[in-house]
Amino acid sequence: MKLTLKIWRQANASEKGALKTYELDGVSQDMSFLEMLDLLNEQLLQNDEEPVAFDSDCREGICGMCSLMINGEAHGPEVTTTCQLHMRSFKDGDTITIEPWRAASFPIVKDLIVDRSAFDRIIQNGGYISANTGSAPEANSVPAPRDKAMRAFNTATCIGCGACVAACPNGSASLFLGAKITHLGELPQGQPERYSRVQTMLAQHDAEGFGGCTNIGECASACPKEIPLDVISQLNKDLRKSLILG
């Protein structure tokens, strides 16, 4: 297939960027979206133009490194990561606009690459269970109800990709935050720090500049791991309780 690509090019964080148009021929249906960009880059290199910088690592939908706003949709039209998106989802002659995640808290590093270190700092602020190595009790000494363990697992599958922030009109990271609060809060091991965790993590979320949630749900629909909106309710609930508990 033949495609027209409009791609955001930006040399670095301080310079201004713009969309640039490229024609790309010889794209196969079996290619992944990123392999299509690999092909473009090979073509650019041969034409002495600097290749497009974009992030990816595992290319199997689990590391959360890849990103991209594709035709206005985070990770493109399917419920998956960009690296798992295949060109089958497009057709010959399509025009595809590719932009980076846009959020002040995710400053652009170059072209389509952004800096998501804000997520690490949110985790640093309580996104863990304090359990020093070697201090753990026998694993089966504390049973965890299966349904709670399942919910913990389902929310722990967040890959930290940032699509939720990118898709949210408020640039809120509430889905990411709610997923971690729910994961740790559903497990018996997570109880002792449950209410301090929600306060410190939220404070960091806000300090990073992420927006407030208005419950509109774009995040959950963009999430490649289908983290449901109810984790935000859980987050709100835990915060409310923590305020009452003081």
Partner 1 sequence: MRAVATTTLIKGARSTRSTIALKLLMAASGIVFILFVLVHMYGNLKAFSGELAFNEYAEHLRTFGEPMLPYGGLLWIIRVVLLASLVAHVGSAIALAKRAHAQRPVKYSVKKNKASSLSSRTMRWGGVALFLFVVWHLLQFTIVKINVGAGGQAPEVTENPYRLLISAFQPEQWWMVIIYLLAMLALAFHLHHGTFSAIQTLGFTNTAESRARARVAGWVVAIVVAGGFSLVPLFTVFGVIS
Partner 2 sequence: MAAGTHYLPGLTPTNEAPVQKSDDAAGYYVLGDKLVDPKAPTGPIAERWTNRKFENRLVNPANRRKLSIIIVGTGLAGGAAAATLGEAGYNVKSFCYQDSPRRAHSIAAQGGINAAKNYKGDGDSAYRLFYDTVKGGDYRARESNVYRLAEESVNIIDQCVAQGVPFAREYGGLLDNRSFGGVQVSRTFYARGQTGQQLLIGAYQAMERQVAAGTVEQFTRHEMLELIVADGKARGIIARDMVTGEIETHLADVVVLATGGYGNVFYLSTNAMGSNVTATWRAHRKGAYMANPCYTQIHPTCIPVTGAHQSKLTLMSESLRNDGRIWVPKNAEDCAKDPREIPEEDRDYFLERIYPSFGNLVPRDIASRAAKYMCDEGRGVGPEVEETQPDGTVKKFRRGVYLDLGAAIERLGKDAIEEKYDNLLDMYERITGENPYEVPMRIYPAVHYVMGGLWVDYELSTNIPGLYCTGEANFSDHGANRLGASALMQGLADGYFVLPNTIREYLADGPFEPISEDHPAVVEAKQSVQERIDKFMSINGTRSVESIHKELGLIMWEYCGMERTEEGLKKAIGLIRELKKEFWTNVKVLGSADSLNQDLEKAGRVADFIELGELMCIDALNRRESCGGHFRAESQTEDGEALRHDDEFAYVAAWEFGGEDGAPILHKEDLIYTAIEMKQRSYK
| Closest CB to ligand HEM among residues 130, 233 | 233
Tokens matching residue 216: 């509109």
| Residue among 187, 202, 224, 227 that touches partner 1 (CB under 8 A) | 202
Q: Does 182 bind ligand FES (CB under 6 A)?
A: no
For the CA atoms of 193, 196, 201, 203, the dihedral, rounded to the nearest 10 degrees, stands at -170
| Residue among 66, 201, 202, 223 that touches ligand SF4 (CB under 6 A) | 223
CA–CA separation, 192 vs 92, rounded Å? 56
| Residue among 52, 65, 69, 177 that touches ligand FES (CB under 6 A) | 65
| Closest CB to ligand SF4 among residues 108, 163 | 163
Q: Does 58 bind ligand FES (CB under 6 A)?
A: yes
Judge contact between 90 and 96, C-beta under 8 A.
Answer: yes
If contact means CB under 5 to 8 A according to the sort of partner, which of ligand SF4, ligand HEM, ligand FES, none does residue 215 touch?
ligand HEM
The contact pattern for partner 2, residues 13-52, with x = CB under 8 A and - = no contact, is ---------------xxxxx-xx--xx--x--xx-xxxx-
Q: Does 179 bind ligand SF4 (CB under 6 A)?
A: yes
Q: Which residues contact 211 (CB under 8 A, 6 or more apart)?
A: 168, 170, 171, 172
For the CA atoms of 26, 88, 162, 158, the dihedral, rounded to the nearest 10 degrees, stands at -140
| Residue among 204, 224, 225, 227 that touches partner 1 (CB under 8 A) | 204
Q: What secondary structure letter does DSSP report for 194?
A: H
Q: Does 139 bind partner 2 (CB under 8 A)?
A: yes
Q: Does 215 bind ligand HEM (CB under 6 A)?
A: yes
For the CA atoms of 202, 159, 36, 31, the dihedral, rounded to the nearest 10 degrees, stands at -150
206 three-class SS: helix
Q: Does 214 bind ligand HEM (CB under 6 A)?
A: yes
The residue ranges that bind ligand HEM (CB under 6 A) are: 214-215
